[in-house]
Amino acid sequence: AHADFNTAETTPSGNIHGMPLAALCGLGDPRLVCLWDETLPALDPKRVAVIGARDLDPGEKRSLREVGVMVQSMEQIDRIGMVAALEKAIERVSREVDGIYLSLDMDALDPRHAPGVGTPVPGGLTYREAHLACEVVAETGKLVGMDVVEVNPILDVQNQTASLAVEFIRSALGSRIWSS
């Protein structure tokens, strides 16, 4: 749902959990940006893609555009399909590198499928779209690392979100929910 690309200057809420991707790309408070290196950002923004965005703050949108992060909104996914959106993103982020790192934010899913998140936004990825995204990444053979964030057991319903997170990890590692 969110790109987590705000800085102290662009955030309307002031929530630090909306800033990590910006910090990894070298934007924002130096105390966040320089956690790993005092001279270089951890990520090249032109090698970052956000899939399934649907709730971006105005300053966040501007920053994403200015530094060249690829954003595939839910509207774009609805229009061109998940596979086409992912193919564009994967081609861009995997050019001239050996691996892909996948960060799966569970609030990318529609809250009907993943209710156990802190900042739910309707209109997100379906169960099948999220599995397909992970399967397409697995098919590249380039996945070198992955994290899953925004799983809040206190807000979850019968562990639904946590269980889905485990399923998506399995899909990203090559398991398929449908065999042909």
- Written out in words, the top-level CATH class of the domain with range 51-172 is alpha beta
* pLDDT (tens digit per residue) in 115-171: 999 999 999 999 999 999 999 999 999 999 999 999 999 999 999 999 999 999 999
Q: How confident is the model at residue 31 (pLDDT cuts 50, 70, 90)?
A: confident
* pLDDT (tens digit per residue) in 78-87: 999 999 999 9
pLDDT of residue 179: 67
- pTM value is 0.92
pLDDT of residue 38: 66
pLDDT of residue 129: 97
- Alpha-carbon span 160 to 177, nearest angstrom: 17
Task: List own/partner pairs for 17-26 with CB under 8 A and 24 or more apart.
Answer: 17/118, 18/57, 18/60, 21/48, 21/50, 21/69, 22/60, 22/63, 25/67, 25/69
Give domain limits for the chain: 51-172
Check if the beta carbon of residue 127 is closer than 8 Å to that of residue 164.
yes
Say what percent of the chain tops pLDDT 90: 86
